[in-house]
Amino acid sequence: MNYQVGDIVNGARIGKADSHRYILVQCPQCHKVRWYRTDFAEKRGMEALCNHCVHSRRGGANPRWKGGRIKLAKGYIRIRLQPGNFFYPMTDKCGNVLEHRLVVAKALGRCLLPWEIVHHRGAKYPSGSNENRGDNRYPENLELLSDKRWHLIDSVTRVFIQKQSQRITVLEAELTLLRSQLEKADGMIMEMEQLKRKKQGGEVNA
């Protein structure tokens, strides 16, 4: 059966596994026709692009665009830039740049060089925390380091302090346990001495 754009049929009639109603629509960009669920058409409009055309659109031209700002698992924020952007040379192969680098670059009015490091000071949140990595206020919490060695030294120092703090916690727990065992041992010694005195006193009386 030949269907025309705008025809509405039950899904079973066109080989669908569900019983939803479908409408035959045409993509306004590539003009390809496809069956579209009527409830989706009511929400998104009859002139919705097909998936191929949606994914071919980049940035703000894509109806699913959410601004290109994504928070990563470690707390850093990633920004998607378009090829025409002045700071696009700072991006990776996928067109992304970390927000803290972009913020400093915009403040300086130039692209940052690969060896320039942007350091989070920890002005509001603990250094190394996810909250601190997302605090991209400049110059309140961001600092540009011209030498990568300073950033490495700071990172190594933080790791060392963290390990020492963990070691101190373990040692304090061990010390508490030893004190408890020592108190018990002292109590047992006192009891033994008392028993010994009583025994000696009984022998004298006899």
Query: What average pLDDT does the segment 153-174 reach?
Result: 78
- Considering the domain architecture, whether residues 73 and 104 belong to the same structural domain is answered as yes
Task: Give the total number of structural domains in the chain.
Answer: 3
- Considering the domain architecture, whether residues 102 and 140 belong to the same structural domain is answered as yes
- The answer to whether residue 1 is domain-embedded is no
- Considering the domain architecture, whether residues 84 and 119 belong to the same structural domain is answered as yes
- Considering the domain architecture, whether residues 109 and 138 belong to the same structural domain is answered as yes
- Considering the domain architecture, whether residues 21 and 47 belong to the same structural domain is answered as yes
User: Considering 120, 146, 172, which residue would you say is the last residue of a domain?
Assistant: 146
pTM across the whole model: 0.48
Looking at the predicted structure, is the pLDDT value of residue 63 above 60?
no
pLDDT more than 90, % of the chain: 25
Check: CB of residue 111 under 8 Å from CB of residue 52.
no
- CB-based burial label for 53 (10 Å; 0-12, 13-18, 19+): middle
> What is the predicted pLDDT for the residue at 69?
83
- Considering the domain architecture, whether residues 40 and 56 belong to the same structural domain is answered as yes
* pLDDT digits 0-9 by tens, 78-94: 999 988 899 999 999 98
Show the domain range for 28.
8-61
- Considering the domain architecture, whether residues 163 and 96 belong to the same structural domain is answered as no
- Local confidence band at 140 (pLDDT 50, 70, 90 cut-offs): very high
Average pLDDT score over the chain: 82
Looking at the predicted structure, is the pLDDT value of residue 150 above 70?
no
- The answer to whether residue 2 is domain-embedded is no
- CB-based burial label for 38 (10 Å; 0-12, 13-18, 19+): middle
Looking at the predicted structure, is the pLDDT value of residue 202 above 80?
no
- Considering the domain architecture, whether residues 165 and 124 belong to the same structural domain is answered as no
Looking at the predicted structure, is the pLDDT value of residue 147 above 80?
no
